[in-house]
Copies of this chain bind each other. A is one copy, B any other.
Amino acid sequence: MLPEEIKKFIEIFEKLPSIGPRQATRLAFRFVSLGTAKIEEIARAIFDLNKIKTCSRCFFIYSGEGDICQRCVDKNRQRDIFMVLEKETDLITIERTKKYNGLYLVLGELTKSGVLESWQKLRLGILKKIIEQELPSKKAKEIIIALNPNTYGDLNTSLIEKELKSHAQKISRLGRGIPTGGEIEFADEETLTHSLQRRE
By a beta-carbon cutoff of 8 Å, the part of chain A in contact with chain B is: 1-6, 8-9, 12, 16-18, 22-23, 25-32, 36, 39-52, 54, 61-64, 87-89, 92, 95
Contact = CB atoms under 8 A, between A and B. Distances in A.
Contacts of A52: 3, 5-6, 32
Question: For the complex, would chain A's binding face be called helix, strand, loop or mixed by DSSP majority?
Answer: helix
22 contacts: A1-B92, A3-B51, A4-B63, A5-B48, A5-B63, A6-B49, A6-B52, A8-B48, A9-B46, A9-B49, A12-B41, A16-B30, A17-B23, A17-B27, A25-B89, A31-B46, A32-B61, A39-B50, A40-B50, A43-B44, A43-B46, A43-B47
B29 A87 contact: yes
Contacts of A1: 92, 95
A54 B35 CA distance: 11
4 tightest CB-CB pairs across the interface, nearest first? A3-B63, A43-B47, A43-B46, A5-B48
Contacts of A16: 27, 30
A153 to B, nearest CB: 18
A36 B50 contact: yes
A62 B29 CA distance: 11
Nearest to A27: B16
B23 A49 contact: no
B46 A39 contact: yes
